[in-house]
Structure 1
Amino acid sequence: MTLLIAFATVEGQTAKIARFITDLAKNAGFDAKLINTDETPSHVSLDEVVKVILLAPVHERKHPKSFEALVASNRDALMKRKSLVLSVGLKAAFASGREEARDYLDEMLLRTGFEPNATALIAGAVRPENYGYFEREILQRVVLLGRKIDPREGAREFTDWDELTLIVIEFLGENGRANTLQPQASTQ
């Protein structure tokens, strides 16, 4: 069985998650096909693909354009397969940000017209070495407001790998019923 894993990445955390999912899928007996939407035409062949995992980060309240273009241009073919959409973002790491993170995912699905079988919010990472002054200030004064996390201390990963494993394994073994997977928020 072929599983398509299509991802976009901005700072590298979503690419890391996509490679992790690829390993999980191969261990579960799937032939995993991994594509980066920034390096692929917006229309892809889904021949022999039985399941799809789509994942992308949220930056400035949206998922990358290349990701949304791939989802929108392949919407009908994607909807004929079992699908899981993972929205990766820092807001998903905190209980107080999960509603907003869900809104970003819902807005992307509305823009693309795609209706996946399952969705989940996945906490991302902070990589301040990649940020300019403005991004660091927004991170510290808006996104991380009130949290004892100092972005000047360097990269910090919030992704819960055990939780991600459970989400992916459940989807790969799922018998086709529609559901929404809701990982628990970090309390940090």
Structure 2
Amino acid sequence: MSEQCSLYVQIKIGENKLAAFFEDKPQPPLIDNNWLLWWESRAMYSKPSLTDISTYSIPNNGAIIQEFVKDNRMGAYENYDEESGIWYLGIVFFSENYTEILPMLAWLKSLASYLEEDEKGVAFIYDFYWGDDSVMAYLEFSDKEALLMPTSHVSEINPTILAQANQHLESIVEEFQKRNEN
């Protein structure tokens, strides 16, 4: 990976549970077998051992989102759809580096404990903007847990979800271009 990949998150969660998550402090992750298997599935040069994952040093989870959204260079948005109960997060220019994405993955995995048993979702970091079709990370949310999957190519993503992600991120790019024209 040599260009910034994009982050897309789509999770069904109650508004009050999401608010509680945003108010809480980021939690340090436990490196378990899921982390280790996913890490082994990643292709990278000089891969270090996965022994430590940094935690965001921001007072609460909601402030983490606001930091991304206010950085205009990243092309970030966050939205809760009250009708569907789905929370969306997108960052067009998120990261190109595996070690840089680890805190976000840990942060997203921590959200799973706030979900109800029947609430599901996905989060993935992929090459949306540059067209390489690679996937850096893919998380599935189900049964109050988030599991990293060995997904490495966009062809492995549900086409409907991928189309939604592309549509959301494309709307961010269009908005970004409009702001910069003025």
* TM-score normalised by length of structure 2: 0.33
* TM-score normalised by length of structure 1: 0.32
Higher relative contact order, chain-length normalized (CA < 8 Å, sep 6+): 2
**Higher share of residues assigned helix:** 1
